[in-house]
Amino acid sequence: MDYYLDIQVQPDMEITTPALLNNLFAKFHRAMNQYCAGKVAVSFPLYNTSLGDTLRLHGSQTDLEQLMIQPWLKGLRDYTTVSAVMPVPANIVGYRTIYRVQKKSPHNLRKRAVAKGRMTEQEALTKIPDSLQERLILPFIQIQSLSSQQVMRIYVAQGNILSEPVKGELSSYGMSRTTTIPWF
């Protein structure tokens, strides 16, 4: 992943930065599955208590150029500024992972316990109350699942800075707990 490009969202009076970033990421997720599955990673260079206004894509020059000639940004062109595909700078901070964090809801834990025969429905309600729900304090992207039509949150965490890159598999969200991207 020696090349990158930045896509910065441009909010206006009607659409907020988070809403635009959500739409941008949902379109990227679909495009990644169609055009470059497992070949492009994401990062959020302004990551803090929010994800910021920029989605950075990392990959080879060829993969990024092939992705960007596709019409996946249709409908967002007026709300985004897309940089050229550029080589990663020589003076990077290091390498880090960008990954999704998921927590099972009490509802899903109860459903699974009953389906596996470990508890009855009443036992599950008593032993796994809604009060056990953990709150994640991480920035997130909210997208609608194409398969179930449910709105879901993709909580995003960053790993520690490493001195050497680690190659591996990327999810359909362009994230991984093991594969690193250059951080700058």
Q: Which of 3, 9, 29, 55 is catalytic?
A: 29
Domain assignment of residue 139, yes or no: no
Which portions of the chain are predicted below pLDDT 70? 133
User: What is the model's pLDDT at position 173?
Assistant: 95
Q: If you search the block for the tokens 């990392």, which residue do you land on? A: 58
pLDDT of 109: 78
pLDDT of amino acid 133:
67
Residue 174 sits in a domain whose CATH number is 3.30.70.2540
| 46-52-56 Cα angle (round to 5) | 65
Does residue 126 fall inside a structural domain?
no
Residue 116 lies in a domain: no
> Looking at the 3D structure of the chain, how many domains does it have?
1
How confident is the model at residue 113, as a pLDDT? 85
Q: Which domain holds residue 37?
A: 3-100+152-183
The answer to whether position 56 is within a domain reads yes
28 inside domain: yes
pLDDT score at 103: 77
**Residue 134 included in any domain:** no
pLDDT digits (tens, 9 = 90+) for 98-116: 999 987 777 777 888 889 9
For residue 77, what pLDDT is reported? Answer: 92
User: Terminus-to-terminus CA distance in the chain, angstroms?
Assistant: 13
Q: Is residue 128 part of a domain?
A: no
Judge whether 140 lies within some domain: no
Phi-psi region of 117 (alpha: psi -120 to 50; beta: other; left: phi over 0): left
Active site residue 29: yes
Question: What pLDDT digit, counting tens, does each position of 127-146 carry?
Answer: 888 777 677 789 999 998 87
Total-model pTM: 0.85
AA identity, residue 28? F
